[in-house]
Chain A
Amino acid sequence: MDCGMAQDTTVPKLNFEYWLDKAIEWGQATTLESQKDVCLHLPQLQEFLHQLYETIKHLQGPTVAIQQFPLIGQLLGRLCWNPFVIGYDESQKTLMWCLCCLYSSEPQNAVELKANSWIRSLLCHLLSSSKWESNEAETSTFISALGYTSADYYCHLVKNMVISLVTELRENQCNGLNIQESISASRVNAISIFCVPLITLPDLTPLLETLLLYHGGSSKEILSSEFLEAVNEAFLKKKISLPESAVFNLWLRHLPSLEKATLHLLDQLFSIHLNSLEEVACVIKDSLLPQAASHPAIFRIVNEIFKNALMETDGTPEVMTIIRVFTQLFLQAYQNENKQYKFPLKAYFPYHHQPLVRSLVRRPFELPTTYWSQHVKHISDMLKAILEDTNISSLTDLFEIWFLVACFGEWLDIAAEQLLKAAVEPGPVLWLLAFYYCPKNENQQRTETMVEAQAVYNHLMTLFSHTDLSLKDLEAAVHRVTGVEHCCNQQLTTHLLTNFLLFSSGGHKIAQECIYNITEITDTRKEVYNLLIHTAYRFNHSGEENQRTVKLMNELLQKFTLKV
């Protein structure tokens, strides 16, 4: 596989021998193995053909091209007779362009004359249903007599073939128990291999869909992995559109495709700058993964991949944001599912404390606002009880619980908000926040965080209704953010402080300046930004009555966006 790779030199070395050997091998063998080998090499071959075209289009006349690449005729000729190559993506286009370059308008010698005639017969072989292929001569006469061209004919022919195969597969699926009538697994496997080069041909869509929904009698996968991978690839690159059910089936039956789709989504989200959670939600929804996650098996695998991504990135806020939005969208899809086909929640979260899961999956808008603080307290109490349970001993167990809570982070934001806005018993709410920011309590870190948070909270509450605030009033709190070593304390304090600025009577006056101070001195830019976009997203969906808060929020976000 030394071809098609990027070369250092400006003129890429065109490895004719390699591809000619391949073409000869493919032309002689008709086994499934050699067909798979063709499928495997199609993208590289296309790249090679493209380079070849770019090289020969500048050469003066076919004789020069033939002198420079003596094998060109043999190679192109053989490739033209390989339906896998001609059927694949844009290979047929590039091949025809290459042939076009070799055609001389004023043939000067016998070679050029011969090349001309050879090129025309190849093009006719590729394009017409004509005399060059004797068995189709009748067809050609008939369709031209009707005033149609081979383009119309092959359009109908392919559609008919697709319909016929679809019917065969569907009927077979229906009477799948009837052994005598069932199609052999090898036939289905062969169909799937023949489809590989044609996946992006729109006529094929019904057949792709039927194949993806088709399961033979045995539990073994009967579709070729080349096919499954190629369909997934084309779907991720948006080269084809498939019905949701077909995509879900692809991911259910082919784990590597599901992994690839999940990683592709993460890549996609990392490569764009996230201006709002609406954008994130849009990209995630577009991937069909939240909808597919209604199948518990898919949900658990995607969730596992996300968890790993979070650990590998040391818990960056961006990844956490993605996970939170994904979970919300999954819940939305899950709740829209028809009751009859709904899996129980336990199928998605099999190893967790079910009452806790049930509380976390409640969407805030399902509950009256007045009930929120009670719900937060309930979650906090349950968590505390679980942690005090002696069974939760290992760090892994602790992480699993933390991750579950983090996925439903909307309740944490509401907790922090309720702390300032509503008359709540602060203890349990502060404990919940402390757990989120400092899950471990080996050396009493969490207890310390709690004490710290309590102090900040008390201080902020004394200032909450002051309309005339100065930065100096908040100095103590700001200092706790900028001065401490424990990052958990820092993050929790930042969270409280940001909410204070948003919701208190006088916070709006000093918000810009205060946030500027914090983010300049500390490393909490990302945290504050993510906090703000989460809050903005929630406001947009459930509404916030206080117009001043909404205005301030937008101003702060704008500042952040400008700076990026």
Chain B
Amino acid sequence: MEPVLGQVEQLPALLAVSRSALVRDWDSLTLDRALEWARYFQHLYDRFRARPQLREALGRRLRRSQPCPLLGFPALGCCPQLLGLALLENRALPPAACRRLLRSLLQPPCAGPGSDPRGLELLARRKAAARLLALPHHDPGPEPQLQAEARLLLSRLRQEGQEAGEAAGQLRWLCGALEPLPQPRAFGVVAAALALLKQGAEGDECTAGLLLSWLLGNQERFSAFCLCIPCSHLAFLAGHYSQLRRPYLDLLTGWGRHLHYDPLQGQWVKSCLDKAELSWEELRERFICLCQGSTPLKEQTQAALEFLRTQDGDFRVRGLSVWTDLLMEMGCSWRVEFQNL
């Protein structure tokens, strides 16, 4: 077993090389060897897939061999495709090797057996399909691109959950995976993943817990997240994840405290213009969204506002406490809602 484990350790290096400028020196023989390795790894995947202990051992060794452990046992299964596409995108690959790569990837007629003949055609077809079906988006939820990324993230998280075991390691892994993404994108993916977990059969407490830990583990990150995600979506998440409610309300409280009343304009204004905070209108919008959610969410939001109003002296006239004014606005919107029933 030890030699196999030793070989598996080479996978991250192989993929790293395939993405680097080192392929400059590859000829068609080098390329063949690389592809053979990839097929061998796939073979290992097929062989050990159904044997949990060996599978775990291979996964552990694979993770140990990377500075930031992103590749797990499943990566072995799609190794030929991972490698092939990485090389295709690598402009440093010289022509002779590249021609060999194209031949082996595209499989012109009468190609040898043992390869997935529909792989790349299907990929090209699906990519075209994604362009054709990208009609103006109607669904109020996250866009399909984010959802697709979220699904990939979730399925990888589940596999990691099965293999990596302890939570701290998984959280490290998640940080590593989300780090390269620009923040708005990462937030979008996480929000979409949390929403997916609440739809249908995808429910999974562990995975949700992990995503929430990542989100709530860093105050600055959470604040940026809440500024980035549309308020209706945030309200949806707060409605489904009770863990999110308190921090979100606290955040809104903090933002509300920074507003002060300008008697000349007769409205609440930001105390500091360039700070990443909310305006009165935005704050109002967020509270309205929260109050349109589930009953517990609505009750908790209302209770929080009432508590804040009491703290501020329980005034019932406008312009003295932001909470009084918000409650009055909510009162209006509740009445409108009631009339519409």
Chain A residues engaging chain B, CB cutoff 8 angstroms: 57, 83-87, 90, 92-93, 96-97, 99-100, 103-107, 116-117, 120, 123-124, 126-131, 138-139, 141-162, 164-165, 167-168, 183, 187, 190-191, 194-195, 197-198, 201, 203-204
Query: B120 near A: Cβ within 8 Å?
Result: yes
Nearest CB of chain B from residue A86's CB, rounded to whole Å: 4
Given the contacts A86-B128, A147-B75, A157-B144, A106 and B138 also touching, CB distance less than 8 Å = no
Q: Binary interface profile of B, 176-205, with partner A (CB < 8 Å = 1, else 0)?
A: 110011100100010000000000000000
- Residue pairs across A and B with Cβ atoms less than 8 A apart, 13 shown, are A100-B106, A103-B95, A105-B95, A123-B102, A127-B124, A147-B70, A150-B123, A152-B152, A153-B152, A154-B123, A154-B127, A154-B148, A203-B129
Query: B256 near A: Cβ within 8 Å?
Result: no
- Selected from B89, B144, B176, the residue in CB contact (under 8 A) with A131 is B89
Query: B332 near A: Cβ within 8 Å?
Result: no
Given the contacts A83-B131, A120-B88, A138 and B152 also touching, CB distance less than 8 Å = no
CA distance A156 to B28 in the complex (A): 33
* Interface residue total, chain B, C-beta cutoff 8 A: 60
- Selected from B85, B99, B132, B177, the residue in CB contact (under 8 A) with A149 is B85
Q: Binary interface profile of B, 81-117, with partner A (CB < 8 Å = 1, else 0)?
A: 1100110110100011011101100101100000000
- Selected from A57, A151, A165, the residue in CB contact (under 8 A) with B123 is A151
In chain B, what residue has the closest Cβ to A147?
B75
Q: Binary interface profile of B, 158-178, with partner A (CB < 8 Å = 1, else 0)?
A: 000000000000000000110
CB–CB B138/A168 < 8 A: yes
CA distance A138 to B187 in the complex (A): 13
CA distance A155 to B155 in the complex (A): 13
CA distance A144 to B121 in the complex (A): 20
Q: Using Cβ atoms and an 8 Å threshold, which residues of chain B touch A183?
A: 138
Query: B130 near A: Cβ within 8 Å?
Result: yes
Q: Using Cβ atoms and an 8 Å threshold, which residues of chain B touch A159?
A: 148
CA distance A183 to B137 in the complex (A): 12
CA distance A97 to B95 in the complex (A): 17
Q: Using Cβ atoms and an 8 Å threshold, which residues of chain B touch A198?
A: 125, 128-129, 132-133
Nearest 10 A-B pairs (CB), nearest first?
A: A87-B128, A86-B128, A156-B148, A157-B148, A105-B99, A154-B126, A160-B144, A83-B128, A83-B131, A92-B124
Query: B247 near A: Cβ within 8 Å?
Result: no
Query: B239 near A: Cβ within 8 Å?
Result: no
Given the contacts A127-B127, A149-B82, A154-B127, A104 and B99 also touching, CB distance less than 8 Å = yes
Q: Binary interface profile of B, 129-154, with partner A (CB < 8 Å = 1, else 0)?
A: 11111110111000011011101110
- Selected from A103, A131, A139, the residue in CB contact (under 8 A) with B99 is A103
Given the contacts A96-B124, A157-B148, A83 and B189 also touching, CB distance less than 8 Å = no
Q: Using Cβ atoms and an 8 Å threshold, which residues of chain B touch A120?
A: 88, 91, 98
- Selected from B96, B129, B148, the residue in CB contact (under 8 A) with A201 is B129
Majority-rule SS of B interface residues: helix
CA distance A154 to B128 in the complex (A): 9
Q: Using Cβ atoms and an 8 Å threshold, which residues of chain A touch B189?
A: 142
In chain A, what residue has the closest Cβ to B84?
A149
CB–CB B126/A158 < 8 A: yes
Q: Using Cβ atoms and an 8 Å threshold, which residues of chain A touch B148?
A: 153-154, 156-157, 159-160
Query: B52 near A: Cβ within 8 Å?
Result: no
CB–CB B185/A142 < 8 A: yes
Extra 5 A-B pairs, beta carbons < 8 Å, given A123-B102, A144-B82, A187-B135? A100-B103, A143-B152, A155-B126, A156-B151, A160-B151
Nearest CB of chain B from residue A298's CB, rounded to whole Å: 31
- Selected from A83, A147, A157, A201, the residue in CB contact (under 8 A) with B72 is A147
Given the contacts A106-B96, A160-B144, A151 and B149 also touching, CB distance less than 8 Å = no
- Selected from B98, B144, B180, the residue in CB contact (under 8 A) with A161 is B144
CB–CB A142/B85 < 8 A: no
CA distance A84 to B131 in the complex (A): 9
CA distance A123 to B156 in the complex (A): 27
CA distance A128 to B105 in the complex (A): 13
Nearest CB of chain A from residue B229's CB, rounded to whole Å: 17
Cβ < 8 Å to A, chain B residues 52-97:
70-72, 74-75, 78, 81-82, 85-86, 88-89, 91, 95-96
CA distance A154 to B181 in the complex (A): 18
CB–CB A203/B126 < 8 A: yes
CB–CB B121/A149 < 8 A: no
CA distance A194 to B123 in the complex (A): 18
Query: B119 near A: Cβ within 8 Å?
Result: yes
CB–CB A84/B132 < 8 A: yes
CB–CB A96/B121 < 8 A: yes
Query: B276 near A: Cβ within 8 Å?
Result: no
CA distance A358 to B129 in the complex (A): 52
